[in-house]
Amino acid sequence: MSERTGTKATTPTTPAAPADPADPADPADLAGRAERLDAADELAAVRDRFVLDDVVYLDGNSLGALPAGVAPRLRDVVAREWGELRIRSWEESGWWTAPERVGDRIAPLLGAAPGQVVVGDSTSVNVFKAVVAAVRMAVGPRDEVLVDAASFPTDGYVAESAARMTGCRIRPVPAAEMAAAAGKRTAAALVNHVDYRTGRLHDLPGITAAVHAAGGLVVWDLCHSAGALPVGLDEHGVDLAVGCTYKYLNGGPGAPAYLYVRRALQPHFDSPLPGWNSHRHPFAMEAGYRAAEGSARGRVGTPEILSLLALDSALDVWGGVDIEAVRAKSLALTDFFLECVAALVPAGAVEPVTPLAHADRGSQIALRRADADRVMRALIDRGVVGDYRPPDLLRFGFTPLYTRFADALRAARTLGSVLEGSG
């Protein structure tokens, strides 16, 4: 059993040495290497748990591929649980407890013990709940909320509103400077674990410890890390965390997000959205609010049952998978892709902006190119799907559960073909 995931562990794929774009691999050997790496991949069989085709899909960092079990599960939910059992399904089919039950299925992927993750609402709503609650729980006269200066825009918008609501000022700080920036005025810090543009992995243990030393609380956005690499929420004493489930967790478009509240903080978690679902006795319909115990305190309104149960089914793909093996393959895939780009793309045509150091890299590679939007459209037309972020970034997300080394090679070869002779 894997301590981190609670599932049978697989043998991790051994990552290659970090690629050096200045020292390209031999193009003639790349196909053979991809074949050997795929043959040795301990996660190769997991690909069969997804609905895939001949397209090279490298956009799982925006929307994960469809797990094969989701469609039949949803047909049963709609036809039988909703169509036949109707209202009885809240109890007989376990609808009412699904937010906590599915949260406990996600928890091992976050390095969290059961009873600390609840699923529901969007990431933005959970950011709002977490930041406001963090400020309310901070000890002493603190009036500052630090926010990752390169944060996904919504996080910044929500944090600014939460700061105004709680009488705080917002202070944008580069994530690399967050630890040094925390001080006696810091009530809370909101940080992205992985930068959505560049794929840079930030120092969760170090930043958390530094903010705690300054007396503040930390909220981590795990949208671009959960399901792609170990997080270690309990191990590193994280206070609160949020994340979406439609990227590396493959929950589907609009799948509900999750909220982690460290067990020791749950009795003090004062949600700014005290909905009837988080009431201690929701069906008593009391006029006054009394918060539920445990992770249910993070609920607000009626759960999004159809999308929540689609996510529940999607999580089946993690059976027997160790997140450490996922991380090892992620690093090996991204290393290999960088080598292929260096060997097959015209020199100087793209600039890698994702860190080469494994300790600083998430599970995506970002390449800078002035006409990145045109290039990505051309790649998609040729069966390689990544995405583009203005003004000049090509993003390629590597989902180890279904991405092959042959896919990395084909993507780089197609990119080289698109850029050949384009200047």
Query: Would 20 be classed as within a structural domain?
Result: no
Query: Would 350 be classed as within a structural domain?
Result: yes
- Boundary-marking domain end, from 266, 298, 318: 318
Query: Would 367 be classed as within a structural domain?
Result: yes
Query: Would 220 be classed as within a structural domain?
Result: yes
- Boundary-marking domain end, from 284, 318, 352: 318
Write the CATH number for 256. Answer: 3.40.640.10
130 and 256 housed in the same domain: yes
208 and 352 housed in the same domain: no
Query: Would 5 be classed as within a structural domain?
Result: no
Query: Would 19 be classed as within a structural domain?
Result: no
Question: Which one of the listed residues 395, 404, 410, 413 is annotated catalytic?
Answer: 395
233 and 335 housed in the same domain: no
Distance between CA 358 and CA 233 in Å, rounded?
20
Distance between CA 95 and CA 93 in Å, rounded?
6
In the annotation, is 395 catalytic?
A: yes
Judging by DSSP bridges, how do beta strands 50-51 and 387-389 pair with one another? unpaired
> To which residue do tokens 């995506």 refer?
364
Judging by DSSP bridges, how do beta strands 50-51 and 393-397 pair with one another? unpaired
Number of domains in the chain: 2
| HEC assignment per residue over 177-236 | HHHHHCCCCEEEEEEECECCCCCEECCHHHHHHHHHHCCCEEEEECCCCCCCCCCCCCCC
| HEC assignment per residue over 355-397 | CCCHHHECCEEEEECCCHHHHHHHHHHCCEECEEECCCEEEEE
Write the CATH number for 340. Answer: 3.90.1150.10
Q: What is the pLDDT of residue 23?
A: 59
325 and 311 housed in the same domain: no
Question: Which one of the listed residues 50, 57, 128, 152 is annotated catalytic?
Answer: 152
Q: What is the pLDDT of residue 9?
A: 34
Please give the C-alpha separations between residue 61 and each of 51, 106, 156, 244, 343, in angstroms, as whole numbers: 17, 17, 20, 11, 25
Q: What is the pLDDT of residue 321?
A: 98
pLDDT in tens, the chain (423 residues): 333 333 333 334 444 445 555 556 778 799 999 999 999 999 999 999 999 999 999 999 999 999 999 999 999 999 999 999 999 999 999 999 999 999 999 999 999 999 999 999 999 999 999 999 999 999 989 999 999 999 999 999 999 999 999 999 999 999 999 999 999 999 999 999 999 999 999 999 999 999 999 999 999 999 999 999 999 999 999 999 999 999 999 999 999 999 999 999 999 999 999 999 999 999 999 999 999 999 999 999 999 999 999 999 999 999 999 999 999 999 999 999 999 999 999 999 999 999 999 999 999 999 999 999 999 999 999 999 999 999 999 999 999 999 999 999 999 999 999 999 665
Token duo for residue 145: 């909320």
Query: Would 236 be classed as within a structural domain?
Result: yes
> To which residue do tokens 């004493």 refer?
237
213 and 340 housed in the same domain: no
In the annotation, is 221 catalytic?
A: yes
364 and 231 housed in the same domain: no
The boundaries of the domain holding residue 222 are 71-318
368 and 341 housed in the same domain: yes
80 and 160 housed in the same domain: yes
In the annotation, is 246 catalytic?
A: yes
- Boundary-marking domain end, from 285, 318, 351: 318
Distance between CA 185 and CA 261 in Å, rounded?
23
344 and 308 housed in the same domain: no
Question: Which one of the listed residues 155, 221, 335, 407 is annotated catalytic?
Answer: 221
The Cβ-side half-sphere exposure at 397, using a 13 Å CA radius, reads: 28
- Beta-carbon contacts of 396 under 8 Å, excluding residues fewer than 6 positions away, are 58, 337, 364, 365, 366, 367, 386, 411
In the annotation, is 247 catalytic?
A: yes
Closest residue by Cα to residue 193 from 236, 134, 145: 236
Quote the pTM value: 0.93
Q: What is the pLDDT of residue 26?
A: 78
Burial 300-327 (b: 16+ CB within 10 A, else e): beebbbebbbbbbbbbebbeebbbbbbb
Question: Which one of the listed residues 4, 185, 247, 262 is annotated catalytic?
Answer: 247
251 and 329 housed in the same domain: no
In the annotation, is 336 catalytic?
A: no
Distance between CA 50 and CA 64 in Å, rounded?
10
210 and 328 housed in the same domain: no
Question: Which one of the listed residues 128, 246, 260, 388 is annotated catalytic?
Answer: 246
Query: Would 168 be classed as within a structural domain?
Result: yes
340 and 220 housed in the same domain: no
